[in-house]
């Protein structure tokens, strides 16, 4: 059982020094690697890891072809300013082929997990001589996985999977006692700029968690474009998280006087403290109209835009 540290009980300075010591005592004089996606959790763990290990931590950004527009450059630039070198690993084809023909949500998550952990990290660990992977798993990831709601891409031990035996390395998870609100405090205390610690959460399976049905480069590009619109228009709402989801079903629409059997985007925008429960943000009708017209204008092939008004539970935050 992991013992929770709530944001209220968290003493960031003590937490940071304790975790830095833990990392040092596990890795000793060896090497470790960590994958940075640019999200709050992996950004925070990257700072902790560098404080503990310096150049003995190799930080990589996995370009899986499922990330938001411009994400790789944004992350590399930000961490360069913070004095952390990030190597970009091109793994687009590996993820695409692992996801080819996969439509079931849990199979999708499993394909992504295996590609990350077995294929890519397995190879990077071998090449670098590292024995440890440092990652930003948080308590909410574990809760839902153990409850069998969603297999979060980064949870193993709690499912009885030994990473050493399955993938050939050990995993260190310094943030495992925290939830998102606590992670933000630790990130801020380590000098992450607000643009990094106050970002909306973004899931490990990336845009694949937001495409219902088959993943293809075209469908990812569609949801990527819609995501840019949604993030631009909702950034000042103060909401916990907001996203675009591409549906599988097509609906009859019309364009230039002709029938267009087009695609549907669902917009979600959540109020939440720690992602365990969430309610849809009561957006104004004006914003909803603006979302519809911008998505239709900027995303080819979309003929329907909807807003999810069901809370979690029974909804979940992501659609897959
Ligand atoms: P759900 O969709 O389960 O999401 O209500 C709860 C929070 O977790 C994020 N999420 C994930 N994060 N790996 C992650 O690292 C995953 O597989 C994953 N699935 C969902 C989601 O964005 C939300 O903040």
DSSP track, 255-279:
ETTEEEEEEEEEEEEEE-SSSSSBE
Torsion of CA 139, 140, 143, 147, to 10 degrees: -160
Position 174 pLDDT exceeds 90: yes
Residue 26 reports pLDDT greater than 90: yes
pLDDT of residue 48: 97
CATH architecture assigned to 211-307: 2-Layer Sandwich (3.30)
The ranges of the chain annotated as CATH 3.40.50.620 are 12-197
The pLDDT value given to residue 147: 87
pLDDT value of position 232: 98
Cβ-contact 304, 265 below 8 angstroms: yes
Pocket test for ligand 1, best of 209, 241, 313, 319 (most atoms within 8 A of CB): 209
Name 264's bridge partners: 304
Kindly give the distance from the C-alpha atom of residue 270 to the centroid of ligand 1, in angstroms, as a whole number.
13
Q: Which residues line ligand 1 (CB under 6 A)?
A: 109, 140-141, 144, 150, 152-154, 201, 203-205, 209, 241, 275, 312, 316-318
Distance of CA 235 to the CA centre of its chain: 17
How many angstroms separate the CA atoms of 120 and 101, rounded?
21
Which atom of ligand 1 is the closest one to the Cα of 151?
17
The pLDDT value recorded for residue 79 is 97
Ligand 1 center to 41 CA (angstroms): 12
| Cα dihedral 150, 151, 154, 157 sign | positive
Q: Where does CATH 3.30.300.10 sit in the chain?
A: 211-307
Q: Mean of the pLDDT values across residues 84-107?
A: 97
- Residue 39 pLDDT class (50, 70, 90 cuts): very high
Residue 144 has pLDDT above 90, yes or no: no
CB 156 within 8 A of CB 171: yes
209 vs 67: CA distance, rounded Å = 11
pLDDT score of 25 more than 90:
yes
Nearest-angstrom CA–CA distance, 135 and 33? 9
CA of 152 to the centre of ligand 1 (A): 7
pTM of the model: 0.93
Banded pLDDT at 149 (limits 50, 70, 90): confident
Tokens of 312: 């979690």
Q: Evaluate if residue 148 carries a pLDDT over 90.
A: no
Binning pLDDT at 50, 70 and 90, where does residue 170 land? very high
**CB atoms closer than 10 angstroms to residue 192:** 22
Above 90 in pLDDT, residue 112? yes
Report the 10 Å Cβ neighbour count for 185.
17
Mean pLDDT for the stretch of residues 137-141? 93
pLDDT digits (tens, 9 = 90+) for 263-287: 999 999 999 998 999 999 999 999 9
HSE on the CB side for 201, CA within 13 Å?
28
Mean pLDDT value of segment 15-19: 98
Share of the chain above pLDDT 70, in %: 100
pLDDT of residue 247: 98
User: Is 1 a residue whose pLDDT tops 90?
Assistant: no
Is the distance from CB of 108 to CB of 216 less than 8 angstroms?
no
- Contact, 33 vs 27, CB < 8 A? no
pLDDT tier for residue 109 given thresholds of 50, 70 and 90: very high
Buried b (16+ CB within 10 A) or exposed e, 83-108: ebebeebebeebbbebbeebeebeeb
End-to-end CA distance of the chain: 27
Q: How far is the CA of 28 from the centre of ligand 1 (A)?
A: 32
pLDDT digits (tens, 9 = 90+) for 205-264: 999 999 999 999 999 999 999 999 999 999 999 999 999 999 999 999 999 999 999 999
Does domain 12-197 fall under CATH 3.90.420.10? My reply is no
Q: How confident is the model at residue 150 (pLDDT cuts 50, 70, 90)?
A: confident
Q: Is the pLDDT of residue 67 over 90?
A: yes
């Amino acid at each position: 059982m992991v013992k929770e540290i709530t944001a209220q009980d968290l003493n960031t300075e003590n937490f940071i020094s304790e975790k830095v010591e833990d990392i040092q005592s596990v890795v000793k004089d060896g090497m470790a690697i960590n994958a940075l996606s640019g999200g709050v959790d992996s950004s925070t763990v990257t700072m902790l890891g560098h404080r503990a290990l310096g150049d003995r931590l190799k930080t990589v950004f996995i370009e899986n072809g499922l990330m938001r527009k411009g994400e790789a450059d944004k992350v590399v630039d930000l961490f360069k300013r913070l004095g952390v070198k990030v190597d970009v690993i091109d793994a687009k084809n590996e993820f695409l082929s692992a996801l080819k023909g996969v439509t079931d949500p849990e199979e999708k998550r499993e394909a992504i997990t295996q590609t990350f952990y077995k294929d890519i990290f397995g190879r990077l660990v071998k090449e670098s001589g590292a024995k440890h992977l440092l990652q930003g798993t948080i308590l909410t990831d574990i809760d839902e996985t153990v409850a069998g709601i969603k297999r979060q891409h980064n949870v193993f031990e709690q499912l009885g999977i030994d990473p050493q035996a399955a993938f050939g390395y050990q995993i260190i998870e310094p943030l495992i006692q925290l939830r998102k609100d606590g992670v933000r405090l630790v990130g801020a205390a380590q000098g992450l700029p607000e643009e990094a610690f106050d970002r909306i959460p973004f899931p490990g399976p990336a845009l694949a968690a937001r495409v219902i049905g088959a993943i293809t480069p075209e469908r990812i590009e569609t949801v990527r474009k819609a995501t840019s619109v949604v993030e631009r228009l909702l950034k000042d709402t103060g909401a916990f998280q907001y996203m675009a989801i591409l549906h599988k079903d097509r609906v009859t629409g019309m364009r230039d006087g002709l029938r267009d059997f087009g695609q549907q985007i669902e917009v979600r925008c959540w109020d939440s403290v720690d992602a365990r429960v969430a309610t849809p943000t009561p957006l104004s009708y004006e914003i909803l109209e603006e979302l519809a017209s911008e998505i239709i204008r900027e995303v080819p092939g979309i003929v329907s835009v909807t807003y999810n008004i069901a809370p979690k539970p029974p909804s979940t935050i992501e659609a897959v």
